[in-house]
Amino acid sequence: MPQKQRLTRQQMANRLAQEFQDGWLVNLGIGIPTLCSNYKQADKQIIYHSENGVIGYGSICPRGQEDHHLVNAGGQYVSLVEGASIIHHADSFAIIRSGMLDLTVMGAYEVAENGDFANWKTQGRRGGGIGGAMDLAVGAKRVFIAMQHTLRDGTPRVLERCTLPVTARGVVKLLATDLGLFEVSEAGLLMREIAPGYTPEEVQAVTAARLTVADDLKEMTV
């Protein structure tokens, strides 16, 4: 029987990065999404955008090779690629709000089967800061989400409806978790790919949304 193997954070990022198209301007949010820039795409030119004003950066720098003046939105040291620009924070948000972004990849606490997502406030937390998430959610042409499928205690994070304060409604197009790749459609969540060794029934058991399974469902390889 195949060994069950949940995807790592980098593997989730890699899988979403495979969906990026040549010439796209892509914003990468804090957390797992920042790892997308580590995925090498020799046949595509992807321009990575960061909220803090770095446009056109590459992979996260190994220890000892950092430029301490150059970080992504998550505060990780990154490298620049040819043609990169450093712009004012306000100009970076002007790009977001003008609709120039082809895609934003964000993390989330919860994603609902109708494409709603919540990523700025947890249960019982007083206050909270939504940051640029709301601008990105409505300003980008597409929204992808990368997150763990469950909490540490096994509680589902993929839901029929979000229970936390929603960041934006109906905007998520694609969701990558450590258990699969899911497409948001009018019929709900379509599972296109599945983590090695798992069955659709096992994924459904830790999902609080109804899943449909693609006819050509395949194992995730990244």
Per-residue pLDDT reduced to its tens digit, 76-103: 999 999 999 999 999 999 999 999 999 9
- At 124, the pLDDT band (50, 70, 90 cuts) reads low
Helix (H) or strand (E) holding 92: helix 89-97
pLDDT value, residue 121: 85
Q: Collapsing DSSP states into helix, strand and coil, what is residue 146? A: strand
- Read off the pLDDT band of 75 (50, 70, 90): very high
CB atoms within 10 A of CB 132: 22
The residue count for the chain: 222
Closest listed residue to residue 166, CA positions, set 121, 103, 114? 121
pLDDT at 2 over 90: no
Alpha-carbon distance 6 to 47, whole Å? 29
Cα-Cα-Cα-Cα dihedral sign, residues 76, 142, 162, 207: negative
220: left (phi over 0), alpha (psi -120 to 50) or beta: beta
- Give this prediction's pTM: 0.95
Instruction: Please write the tens of the pLDDT for every residue from 24-36.
Output: 999 999 999 999 9
DSSP state of 160: S
Residue range 187-210, pLDDT digits in tens: 889 999 999 999 999 999 999 999
The arithmetic mean of pLDDT across residues 100-123, rounded, is 95
Burial class (CB in 10 A: 0-12, 13-18, 19+), 154: exposed
* Percent residues over pLDDT 90 in the chain: 90
Mean pLDDT to the nearest integer, 138-150 = 98
For 11-58, the pLDDT digits (tens) are: 999 999 999 999 999 999 999 999 999 999 999 999 999 999 999 999
Q: Residue 175 forms beta bridges with which residues? A: 145, 182
Name the residues annotated as catalytic: 51
The span from the CA of 102 to the CA of 23, in Å, is 9
Q: What does CATH list as the number for 9-219?
A: 3.40.1080.10
SS3 content of the chain, % helix, strand, coil (to 5): 15, 30, 50
Q: Closest by alpha carbon to 83, among 47, 44, 134, 127?
A: 47
